[in-house]
């Protein structure tokens, strides 16, 4: 990495802030998964950014073909070190869960590509558990009509839909409630790889700051909330987060 002295100062400050915090909440966006090969959405060259400019999308890998990267595993280490109290994610790629994040410690605000859910009891299932074949049953989006051959909830018999939150879908109540609760409790929020331009998810860092929490933003591109950040780091998460974990292990 270039400009080592500046990076070291940033890492030292962030590690100290994490060490001193009593309630760290991590907030992630698509930028944390670009190093796994996925495209982002609202970055300078993101899918929606290019679409709005009338440019063809630059497609990355498919969700089925990617694995967690060093940034995901660094967050998992924060969990294992009992430093991270909760994780709020805008991502649907399942990489946090695959990295080893406890499902009780994460709110996936925009759902999870790997899961289906019941509209009645909100129980989540894998497509394998439901014997849901996308070639036969389709994607199962809320806006698509339910077919007679669609698998139903194994718990209550209710309608099964994709866990992914699409445009015009309501935000998931449980995930929003939990995110609001933990954002209000946190004294430090670490934002990683989010453009902070998609509402209502992007409101949580702003609300945390308003409630007195410190705010750290790690993102390659500028965000609308950079002026609120106590520390703003323009580096790839997969490079700087392991560096922060290494520093934490030395000072704890």
Using one digit for the tens of pLDDT, what is the confidence trace for 183-226? 999 999 999 999 999 999 999 999 999 999 999 999 999 999 99
Task: Please tell me whether residues 105 and 192 are part of one structural domain.
Answer: yes
Same-domain pairing of 105 and 198? yes
Looking at the fold, whether 25 and 99 belong to one and the same domain comes out as yes
pLDDT at 62: 86
pLDDT score recorded for residue 58: 57
43 vs 27: CA distance, rounded Å: 16
| Exposure string for 154-174, b = 16+ CB within 10 A, e = fewer | eeeebbbbbbbbeeeeeebee
Pair 187, 247 in one domain: yes
Could you list the residue range(s) of the whole structural domain that residue 200 is in?
A: 4-112+170-251
Q: Which residues are catalytic?
A: 110
- The single residue listed with the structure tokens 């796994």 is 36
Same domain, 97 and 189: yes
For 150, the token pair is 């669609």
Q: What is the C-alpha separation between 204 and 34, in angstroms, rounded? A: 22
pLDDT in tens, 25-83: 999 999 999 999 998 655 555 444 445 556 565 567 888 999 999 999 999 999 999 99
When computed from its CA atoms, the radius of gyration of the chain, rounded to whole angstroms, is 19
173, 179, 181, 183: CA torsion to nearest 10: -150
Number of domains in the chain: 2
- The answer on 236 and 187 residing in a single domain is yes
Q: Tell which residue, 215, 240, 229, has the closest CA to residue 9.
A: 240
The pTM score is 0.89
- Cβ atoms of 34 and 198 closer than 8 Å: no
**145 and 192 share a domain?**
no
């Amino acid at each position: 990495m270039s400009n080592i002295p500046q990076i070291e100062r940033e890492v030292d400050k962030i590690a100290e802030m994490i060490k001193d915090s009593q309630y760290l909440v991590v907030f992630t966006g698509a930028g944390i998964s670009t190093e796994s090969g996925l495209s982002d959405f609202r970055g300078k060259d993101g899918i929606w950014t290019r679409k709005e400019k009338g440019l063809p999308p630059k497609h990355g890998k498919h969700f089925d073909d990617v694995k967690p990267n060093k940034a995901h595993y660094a967050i998992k280490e924060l969990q294992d070190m009992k430093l991270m109290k909760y994780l709020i994610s805008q991502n649907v790629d399942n990489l946090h869960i695959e990295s080893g994040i406890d499902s009780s410690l994460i709110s996936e605000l925009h759902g999870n590509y790997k899961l289906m859910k019941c509209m009645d009891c909100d129980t989540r299932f894998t497509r394998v558990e439901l014997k849901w074949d996308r070639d036969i049953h389709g994607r199962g989006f809320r806006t698509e009509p339910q077919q007679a051959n669609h698998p139903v909830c194994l718990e209550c018999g209710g309608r099964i839909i994709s866990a992914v939150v699409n445009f015009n879908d309501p935000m998931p109540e449980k995930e929003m409630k939990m995110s609001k609760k933990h954002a209000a409790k946190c004294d430090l929020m670490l934002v990683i790889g989010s453009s902070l331009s998609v509402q209502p998810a992007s409101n949580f860092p702003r609300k945390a700051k308003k409630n007195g929490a410190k705010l750290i933003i790690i993102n390659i591109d500028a965000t609308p909330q950079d002026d609120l950040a106590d520390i703003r780091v323009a580096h790839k998460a997969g490079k700087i987060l392991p560096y922060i974990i290494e520093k934490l292990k030395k000072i704890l």
